[in-house]
Structure 1
Amino acid sequence: MATSFNEQFGQYGAWRREFALRLKLLSAWMKEHALLDAAVQDRLRRLEDQMRSDKVSVAFVAEFSRGKSELINALFFATYGRRIMPAGAGRTTMCPTELGFDPALPASLRLLPITSRLDTRSLMDWRLAPEEWTEVALDVHDPAQLAGALTKVTEVRRVPIDEARALGFWHDDLPDDNPIADAAGQVEVPRWRHALVNIAHPLLQQGLVILDTPGLNAVGAEPELTINLIAQAHAVVFILAADAGVTRSDMAVWREHLSGEATHDNARVVVLNKIDTLWDALSTPEQIAREIDRQRAASAAILGLPAERVMAVSAQKGLLAKISADDALLQASGLPALEQLLGQGILGERQNILRATVSRGIAELRLETGRVIQMRRRELSEQKIELQGLGGKNTAVIKNMRQRIEQEKLEFDIGNAKIHAVRSVQHKLLGEVFGLLGSRALKAEMMALATALQRPGLKLGMKGIYAETFTRLRGNLDRARAHSLEIQSMLAATFRQLNAEYGFSLQAPAEPDVMRFDKELQQIEQGHLRYLGLGHALRMAQPEFADRLVRALATRLRAVYEAAFAEVELWSKTAAGQLEAQLQERRTSFGRRIEAIDRIQQAAGGLDERVAEIESQEAVLGQLETRLQLLTSYFVSTGVALQDQAAPEASP
């Protein structure tokens, strides 16, 4: 029996919580046994935070009257026993609506007025200005109140044509796309620009984010919606109507906003909705099934997708079946098959990615910690040999031994000064990497692009300007990688020298994979080029739209650069933490050796007692190593198995 998406997401959430708990227990155990240096602690904290806070976003995109909001109701909110998202004939959702959960905020519907479009601030900037939003309290335990409040996303207002033009809903050169003016010369526009719903729904609490979008006109006027929110969704569900097939406006939405940026096969799902309109009483079930299959195949061919990526459903009948517990109707609605596809595709892909990420992190942690344990074991072995050589020796020999240890410590401290000198050079190079990946460099590029876009009239040659901008951005990544390679080379040489001089077991960590972000830049550039074609030439001629476009692009690029910055930072901390851990182990070893000599000088039985202590510590180290392998095997084994199964392009 197919498992509903709600049940699959619940299982996914339970798996994430278990993984995060195991990571927390591993961190506590390592801290208890002094194996948790700053770099290892930071790595574990990042992995645990990623597991606990990971979001899975699903965007629903369609032209008006395709049953999009009804499908959201059927998939996620049937347990309320009624419609929650407004659904019905004609236009319903008039503004992009995000549903999620933030425990720091009250249950509410927040609405950004449509007049905010007159300001060039990005949606991200507006999110940081809560006082500009209209807030409506929500009661998650009262379905009627919840549904009633959410009808506000359907609200419209009538404005003069000049205002509609300024808001981006009227284009003199595209009369066929303009709304119909009434006798007073006014047209209908959405009352709200964006809506944020924050409720403690079980799915939303576990990290699901749902994006409900309006039709083509509203989507096209909000570049941040397509460049950021839809483009970065883990899955996009594109809805068609079975009684209409792929219309001209459907094709415009698909071509202009959805095609060409999917990172894996599961990222795009097409739903042929309203198949109940084909349930003709005069046709046999076989004839109806053939007609539905024909519609699926035709839609898939037009969109350039495999037929299995087009799912035939009746959202309305599926919702009714769930509410009335009618299993036969539910199966006929096609909803279970869609839920299975979404669950296995989105959640399976996300689970693979998270597991592989944790597996890589824990494998590196195991190596780093294993080296610390081996160093402790070697230090203890050398101490034991050293002490056993003192058996039967007189006081003068023991005193000379102490002086020799102190001399070694002094030489080691002098060597530390050389290490710090090398590290200062490395920090200088690292600062250059951070400069290339920092916000200042990106801001300068975006300002140059914005200046070019602010020219009046049609923006001829913009593709070339965009290409030059992205070439420079990729050049920054190239230079960051070159600096990283230089730092890596210095680290390797320094570590080899320290290993030879002090018997350390340092190993330079693998260089950060900065260039994997180059692929993301290419995807962003390709997705953004659609705004530079003839279809958007008139919009681009408007300075306000062009400015919003650059701000939206900057928001997404900032996320890429911050991720690259974080990867380099973690790499740097890993190298520094490994070196600091072994330096500290050596300092501690000197202290223990001197303490042991002092105890032997004070008591005749001190030698045998100290040797017995060392042997006991050696046994403890063996137990720690075994326990470390046991605690980390769960993460590494599951990650390795999934990496073998996962698609090669999957990345965290």
Structure 2
Amino acid sequence: MAVSTVVPGGRSNKGLSQQIEAYHAWKAAMIREIHHYRSWLESNDLASADIVGRLEHCSDVLREDKVTVALAGEFSRGKTELINALFFASFGQRMLPSHAGRTTMCPTEIFFDEAGSYLRLLPIETRESQVGIAELKLQSKHWHCIPLDGLTPDALKAGLEPLKQTKSVPIAQAVLLGFSLDGLDRDPEKSGHALIPAWRHALISLDNPLLRQGLRILDTPGLNALGSEPELTVSMLPKADAILFILAADTGVTASDMTLWSEHINKSEHKAGRYAILNKIDVLLEDIEGDEHAWRFIDNVREKTALQLKLEPSQIIAMSAKQALIGRTQHDAERVAKSRIDELEALLADQILDRREQLIQDSVMQDVLGMIHNSQAVLRDRRDMLEDRLEKFRASTVSKDFLGDLSAKTQEDYDYYYKQLFTLRSSRRLMKSQAAILNSMIEPQRFDSYVTETKIRLMNAWTTFGMGTAIDDFYTSIEDDLKNLKYEAILAQRMIDSIYKRYTTEARNRHLKPTYLKVDRQIKALESLRQQAKSFKRSPSSLMTEQTIFIKRFLQTLVAEARRLYDEIRHEVALWPQEALMPIFQHTTDQKQMLETQIGRLKELAQSATVGRNQIERIEAMSTDLLHQQKALERIEKKLRRPAPQALRSVVTRLPSVVPVASSR
């Protein structure tokens, strides 16, 4: 008896394609509302350079947001077939090379680029340099480019064939290029030669709906590729939203599978999760003993795999990528259902998109909503003041004293915020001085000096212990800098807290909250990097490699990633002094600007020849205008707070079923 497909979380599965489309549409709606808020600020003369810059940053984060799915596994596990089934079945055939044996020979990234469709291939010989893949991506001269624009599916498929190219080189050269001696495929036609991938890395840009909406795919072919390209493990895989570890259902976790899992996947700090795919269940379901026996075997393999990889059973999917691809290209719904690819798509949508939505809401949306709340507080204060003064004079005789009193009160408020703004500018200059101290602790020259010293020590080391000590000292130097940075950041934060404490003594300012320096993620990543460095130096393949090769790999991967994290920290430190005081600056500037507008209107009224009911009506109109502005902001806020697609699906599926009420007739 076949085991029925269970969609995790009990949600109905609309298909990964539709859910990514919904996620993309949700982000587009958020960008529109951020634009509406900016237009509102500009129409009310409240759009300062700081606020506009922050809103542009939030919009850029949404536009540039990508969902990255990485596939890892040994050769012949069906990774490429799964990519074809998940993302390219609409072409009606296999687009990426996929057949028995080794197909895609090098790590491959698939994405959408506005520049057009292309295949870019990085020659394997670039491993001889100390330049990492990330840096080489910026140097087009090293890449072999094949245009793919305007091709028919057949021509496009042919254009991607170079992905599986190999070349025959002497075994000694293969080792120098970083390949493990044990993992080499010997050339049957040339003694002393081995077959290695012709390419080190591949970039594929295709105009596919899912890719256009921000999906990126990383295909990593086999243990040898991961072991000889540390940048994949140190940098690329940890940045993925999910890693699908592909296994064969008929074998479960083999020794090489376990090595790949423990050395390159399970030790990384990943943003989302890791999932195991038991592929090729169709082979088992064709067993002579029938489906019931096959499903019992598959369930046993699934349970054993969960124990071996220390995953939850819900993180392991048994399926057939081949049957999914055939079913989708032939529009055979029954075959697709039997492949159980829907279960995988539901898992990806639930786990990946849920997390992406939460990250956006916790970061971008909170920033924008905070600015909107400041604007709402300004409008509320101005309207309350007008209503308070109007209430006192509606029942009394109208006189010029009314306008004079209202003007005086408005001018008093204006003077208060003008002085506050002047004081805040002094505070910001003080914060910039503190930021200079913070920046001095992580300046590029310090980092470069650590790299230079470590490189010299590695080259002069005669033992693996000496190399290991040099690496440890490199990370100790970095950690010392970060400890000093955190200490100075605490002092700077106390300064900011004192500024907010002085400013928020009045009830009208108590909603304002400071922004704290956010570098914990980078510090945690650097700590994780040190742990990876320890694993790297203990790796037998690293220690058995010639010293100069070890040094190159170290500089290419671990140091390059540490440098990237250092750059991120410097960027956050540079922005922090301005962002820390932004809520107060926005509130004060908005209040001052709105009061200027009201003073101008009141002066016009005061210059009238007579004072009558029409002046009060005009002041009432000012209050009504503020109310309309409040409602406009409320509409923007309401749209920004609309539930994200995955969260909305969760709510809908939890609603109780409606029981029809019998008619009384």
Q: What TM-score, normalized to structure 2?
A: 0.84
CA pair 428-67 structure 1, distance change in 2 beyond 3 A? same
CA contact (8 A) 2:354 2:647 kept: no
Q: Deviations over 1:273-330 (max 9, x none)?
A: 1222223442121111111112222222222222332221221122111112222222
2:208 to 174, 194, 201: 201
How far apart in 2 are the matches of 1:507 and 1:323?
Answer: 56
How far apart in 2 are the matches of 1:337 and 1:405?
Answer: 63
CA pair 130-228 structure 1, distance change in 2 beyond 3 A? same
How far apart in 1 are the matches of 2:345 and 2:597?
Answer: 62
1:345 offset after TM fit, Å? 1.8
Secondary structure at 1:58 match in 2:
strand
Secondary structure at 1:261 match in 2:
coil
Q: Deviations over 1:571-624 (max 9, x none)?
A: 533444444445545655775687578657754336976655443222222332
**Corresponding position of 2:660:** none
1:178 offset after TM fit, Å? 3.8
* 1:303 matched to 2:309: yes
**Corresponding position of 1:240:** 247
CA pair 436-370 structure 1, distance change in 2 beyond 3 A? farther
**Corresponding position of 2:149:** 139
CA pair 537-512 structure 1, distance change in 2 beyond 3 A? same
Superposition pairs for residues 311-390 of structure 1, below 5 Å?
Answer: 311-377=317-383
Superposition pairs for residues 3-402 of structure 1, below 5 Å?
Answer: 3-103=14-114, 105-139=115-149, 141-169=151-179, 171=181, 176-180=182-186, 183-263=190-270, 267-377=273-383
1:18 offset after TM fit, Å? 2.4
1:162 offset after TM fit, Å? 3.4
CA contact (8 A) 1:453 1:459 kept: no
CA contact (8 A) 1:140 1:201 kept: no
How far apart in 2 are the matches of 1:368 and 1:402?
Answer: 24
Which residue type is aligned with residue 618 of structure 1? S
Q: Deviations over 1:412-439 (max 9, x none)?
A: 8788665544332221002223444554
Q: Deviations over 1:545-585 (max 9, x none)?
A: 43333332344334444554555555533444444445545
CA pair 220-615 structure 1, distance change in 2 beyond 3 A? same
How far apart in 1 are the matches of 2:225 and 2:367?
Answer: 42
Superposition pairs for residues 479-490 of structure 1, below 5 Å?
Answer: 479-490=484-495
CA pair 352-588 structure 1, distance change in 2 beyond 3 A? closer
CA pair 519-72 structure 1, distance change in 2 beyond 3 A? same
Which residue type is aligned with residue 632 of structure 1? E
1:429 to 413, 428, 434: 434
CA contact (8 A) 2:321 2:339 kept: yes
1:116 offset after TM fit, Å? 0.7
CA pair 434-374 structure 1, distance change in 2 beyond 3 A? farther
How far apart in 2 are the matches of 1:589 and 1:74?
Answer: 58
1:133 offset after TM fit, Å? 0.6
How far apart in 2 are the matches of 1:613 and 1:426?
Answer: 44
How far apart in 1 are the matches of 2:273 and 2:565?
Answer: 19
1:443 offset after TM fit, Å? 4.0
1:453 to 453, 458, 465: 458
CA contact (8 A) 1:170 1:179 kept: no
1:401 offset after TM fit, Å? 12
How far apart in 1 are the matches of 2:411 and 2:365?
Answer: 43
1:624 to 625, 629, 633: 629
How far apart in 2 are the matches of 1:618 and 1:450?
Answer: 69
CA contact (8 A) 2:302 2:316 kept: yes
Which residue type is aligned with residue 493 of structure 1? S
CA contact (8 A) 1:86 1:150 kept: yes
How far apart in 1 are the matches of 2:13 and 2:424?
Answer: 61
Which residue type is aligned with residue 313 of structure 2? A
Which residue type is aligned with residue 344 of structure 2? L
Secondary structure at 1:454 match in 2:
helix
How far apart in 1 are the matches of 2:634 and 2:368?
Answer: 11
CA contact (8 A) 1:362 1:636 kept: no
CA contact (8 A) 2:303 2:313 kept: yes
How far apart in 2 are the matches of 1:114 and 1:62?
Answer: 21
How far apart in 2 are the matches of 1:287 and 1:590?
Answer: 79
Which residue type is aligned with residue 177 of structure 1? G
1:341 offset after TM fit, Å? 1.6
CA contact (8 A) 2:374 2:586 kept: no
How far apart in 1 are the matches of 2:360 and 2:586?
Answer: 28
Provide the aligned length of Structure 1 versus Structure 2. Answer: 636
1:333 offset after TM fit, Å? 2.0
CA contact (8 A) 2:117 2:148 kept: yes
Consecutive unaligned residues in structure 1, runs of 5 or more: 647-652
1:47 offset after TM fit, Å? 2.5
CA pair 583-70 structure 1, distance change in 2 beyond 3 A? closer
How far apart in 2 are the matches of 1:255 and 1:275?
Answer: 24
CA contact (8 A) 2:500 2:513 kept: yes
2:610 to 605, 611, 614: 605
1:210 offset after TM fit, Å? 0.6
CA pair 418-83 structure 1, distance change in 2 beyond 3 A? closer
Superposition pairs for residues 498-647 of structure 1, below 5 Å?
Answer: 507-538=512-543, 541-568=546-573, 571-581=576-586, 583-584=588-589, 588=593, 602-605=607-610, 612-636=617-641, 638=643
CA pair 30-162 structure 1, distance change in 2 beyond 3 A? same
How far apart in 1 are the matches of 2:17 and 2:496?
Answer: 49
Q: What TM-score, normalized to structure 1?
A: 0.85
Q: Deviations over 1:121-170 (max 9, x none)?
A: 11111111112111001136511111111111111111223322321125
Which residue type is aligned with residue 620 of structure 2? E
CA contact (8 A) 1:362 1:632 kept: no
How far apart in 2 are the matches of 1:233 and 1:596?
Answer: 56
Which residue type is aligned with residue 251 of structure 1? M
CA contact (8 A) 1:97 1:195 kept: yes
* Higher mean C-alpha displacement, 89-98 vs 577-586: 577-586
CA contact (8 A) 1:375 1:505 kept: no
